[in-house]
Amino acid sequence: MRKILFPLLAVAFVLSSCSAARQSLANKDTAQYRYEIECAGNAIQGTYLVKVWTYSRSAGIAENQCRKNAVHGVIFKGYGGGQGCVSQRPLAPQPGIETQYKDYFDSFFATGGEFQKYASIISGTTETVRVGNEYKVGVVVSVRKDDLRKALEAAGILRKLNSGF
């Protein structure tokens, strides 16, 4: 029994280590948040439908990071109009807010972090383009911006819209 169990455990360990290493590489690739965000059409009330182009050395990793980048873009970048869309300002337009609340955003955008609650990939929308020695992967993502705003208000990062000027 030991002769069979040990090799299986060793293979499982190696596979999990490779997966963790790939995720670490993905986090390193996206730590600088190199992405482009654009409108992908009109969405239901309370959500944005955006197309996010993420850069990475692995196409599969970039696709997984698109949700994170979509939420990051809605919070900190906003996006321009086009495709019948109106330009959207970022939820947090104040400069330096990301560094001011660094601890919060580090855990929010961590692997398996809270950002996942607010973004869903629209299946069948992935585009992959090879650019030099890396990939540019585009995915359409639905971001629940109203719920995201409420969460940031509850954390004390954003002021409530009805708080006055």
Higher pLDDT, 134 or 163: 134
Position 18 confidence tier, pLDDT thresholds 50, 70, 90:
very low
Position 92 confidence tier, pLDDT thresholds 50, 70, 90:
very high
Query: Is the predicted pLDDT of residue 81 greater than 90, yes or no?
Result: no
Confirm whether pTM is higher than 0.75. yes
> What's the pLDDT at 62?
85
Q: What is the mean pLDDT of residues 63-78?
A: 94
> What's the pLDDT at 20?
52
List, in sequence order, the alpha helices (H) in the chain: 2-30, 59-72, 97-100, 102-108, 145-154
C-alpha span between 109 and 71 (Å, rounded): 9
Q: What is the mean pLDDT of residues 91-99?
A: 91
Query: Is the predicted pLDDT of residue 22 greater than 80, yes or no?
Result: no
Q: What is the mean pLDDT of residues 1-20?
A: 52
Question: Mean of the per-residue pLDDT values for the chain?
Answer: 84
